[in-house]
A and B are shown apart, each in its own frame.
Chain A
Amino acid sequence: MILAIASGKGGTGKTTLAVNLAHAFGRPLQLLDCDVEEPNGQLFLPGDALVEEIVTIPVPQVDESLCDSCGECGRFCAYHAIVSFGAKALVFAEMCHGCGGCAKVCPQKAIREIPKRIGVVEKRKSGDIVLLTGRLDVGQAMAPPLIRAVKECLNQNMPAILDAPPGTSCPVIVTIRGADFVLLVTEPTPFGLHDLKLAVDMVRELRIPFGVVVNRVGSGDDRVHVYCRRENVPILAEIPDDRRIAEAYSRGNLIVEALPEYRDLFADLAKKLLKAGNGGGG
């Protein structure tokens, strides 16, 4: 089973949920930190990095001795990553999506592709949990290829939790594509509800079964609950607004360890998700 945790709004508790839930399952599983711009899972799951793999995307390199400035590459490129205005083609590697089109269309065969580093995937073990972390290099714009690289490390024979980045655009879609179930984490506030609606539209568009976890219950009002009832969206867990949770989180502690009274909450959620994953609902 592949479970993705997403949110729309940032800071609603995706990582908190991912790391505590990973513990609550009580069995070997993989946790993939797909928030490659700001990965945080490793802060809560100590363990030495076992492997670090460099991730690259293919970008064009122009052999100027062969380039006859015909401009075909520039006319083809949808991202303005290669241009040639009557002169030798010039590459803007940071705009390149790595589609390989320019090399294919060049009549002179003057373009070859070379790897450009965009980040790393780290693998570490923390108890029963295999943590795979994608880490985008600072200054790099393209998160999706790195997220795809993290997902390629996924072992299909072991259950997996994917911690998605915030938002509803490309990096989130790349993360949750192929998941069996999506948990949307929100908070009972106007911002929380507004961004939850966007996230619900997104998972419906992708036709993935989903449920909601409401975090910081008590900090706002019942607008998220009213919406979920009206839309027939199951609320699978509610985490109360408890300053001790915020404090434990601030230190990098797991809630299930620092505040044992919350163990049942995460264990119950794990049970519900296993049931949903086996076709029992959701």
Chain B
Amino acid sequence: MKKLVVISGKGGTGKTSVAASFAVLAERPVIADCDVDAADLHLVLAPRIRERHDFTSGHQAVIRQQDCNGCGTCSEVCRFEAVEKKNRENGAVTYVIDPVACEGCGVCVRFCPQRAIDFPESLCGEWMVSETRCGPMVHARLGIAAENSGKLVSIVRREARRIAEAENRSVIIVDGPPGIGCPVIASLTGATLVLVVTEPTVSGEHDLERVLALARHFNMPAAVCVNKWDINPEMTERIENMAGSSGAKIAGRIRYDRAVTAAQMQERAVVETKAPCVQDIQHIWKQLGL
């Protein structure tokens, strides 16, 4: 079984449009949307949800106000600026935890002399297994202002692999998150190939360099395609040269095509339309040899 992870470094270069097209072109794929922060693949693939699971991750410190004597130890030991000093109505000092800033380390819980801090599990989102017209899909929703997207990405990735093995499917198509940090690293584990979708801009070039360095760091073979290449043909060439000399395969170019947005409006993958750039995407898919 093969696993293709589509990433980009820079956001908004067309990862999801490309990944949705690959889901259509692939034979018996499992699809995983690992961009759990801002998941969009479901807007194209119209999943029918089969299973829903809560995503609980880590804990959250909560100070019981009736037991807090205002000593301030929690505030001294917290490294995440998550403890706020408050005045009670009678003027006495008390402390509260900002749930958004709390990283759930438990240091305040352990060192509160009054044992006045609870540490319940926190619900951080949900993940789902669905049916789509292309095959099964695993996707997720991170809770509002929640943490630990890397862990949620790992769950989506593992579940996709489990389904692929159970149903004997040949390829997993992963729509990855932007950036190079924790969620991206979590999505790369076990990849056969990383495809970086970039754009011919100074930002695209800069971010591609970093994301290719990340792929090298984890010893993963990488391929590159330049989306909207004709916005700046010289930059496209520069990017392809840079990518080639850093060991990445050049998988092809996708032209600037307004029909890509039009396909999105119709909730279809680009390759399900008659857009001129369809042949570009088909060519890239063949080049990947999956």
Task: Give A contacts to B, CB under 8 Å.
Answer: 7-12, 15, 35, 37-38, 40, 43-44, 76, 78-79, 97-101, 104-105, 136, 138-143, 148, 165-173, 177, 189-191, 194-195, 198, 201-202, 205-206, 219-221, 243, 246-247, 249-252
Contact = CB atoms under 8 A, between A and B. Distances in A.
A194 B39 CA distance: 9
B114 to A, nearest CB: 17
A38 B9 contact: yes
A99 B107 contact: yes
A189 B178 contact: no
B261 A189 contact: yes
A38 B43 contact: no
B179 A191 contact: no
B10 interface: yes
Contacts of B93: none
Given A37-B179, A167-B177, A10 B107 contact: no
A246 B231 contact: yes
Interface string B18-33: 0000000000000000
21 contacts: A11-B13, A12-B11, A38-B179, A38-B180, A40-B10, A139-B185, A139-B218, A143-B181, A168-B144, A169-B36, A189-B265, A201-B144, A221-B265, A243-B256, A246-B201, A249-B201, A250-B204, A250-B235, A251-B232, A252-B201, A252-B202
Nearest to B103: A97
B128 interface: no
A142 B182 contact: yes
Contact of A169 (B13, B147, B202, B267): B147
Contacts of B149: 167, 169-170
B110 A101 contact: yes
A48 B29 CA distance: 49
Nearest to A38: B207
Contact of A206 (B11, B104, B145): B145
B264 A167 contact: no
B58 interface: yes
Contacts of A79: 105
Contacts of A148: 81
A104 B77 contact: yes
Contacts of A195: 38, 40
B228 interface: yes
Task: Pick the most buried of B9, B142, B203: most chain A CB atoms within 10 A of its CB.
Answer: B203
Contacts of A140: 181
Given A220-B265, A246-B228, A167 B178 contact: yes
The interface centre, meaning the residue of B36, B107, B145, B217 with most chain A CB atoms within 10 A of its CB, is B145
A146 to B, nearest CB: 9
Contacts of A99: 79-80, 103, 105-107
Contacts of A97: 103, 105
Given A166-B11, A195-B40, 8 more contacts: A12-B12, A78-B106, A97-B103, A141-B182, A142-B181, A190-B40, A205-B144, A249-B202
A221 B261 CA distance: 10
Given A173-B100, A198-B144, A251-B202, A166 B38 contact: yes
A136 B180 contact: yes
Nearest to A37: B179
Contacts of B150: 141
B213 interface: yes
Interface in B227-265: 228, 231-232, 235, 256, 258, 261, 264-265
Going nearest first, the 6 A-B pairs with the smallest beta carbon separation are A10-B11, A11-B12, A167-B37, A99-B105, A37-B179, A252-B202
B37 A247 contact: no
Contact of B231 (A220, A221, A250): A250
A138 B38 contact: no
B161 to A, nearest CB: 21
A37 B181 contact: yes
Contacts of A11: 10-13, 178
Contacts of A167: 37-38, 149, 177-179
A11 B210 CA distance: 17
B172 to A, nearest CB: 22
A76 to B, nearest CB: 7
A42 to B, nearest CB: 9
Interface in B194-217: 199-204, 206-207, 210-211, 213-214, 217
A100 B107 CA distance: 8
Contacts of B12: 9-12, 166
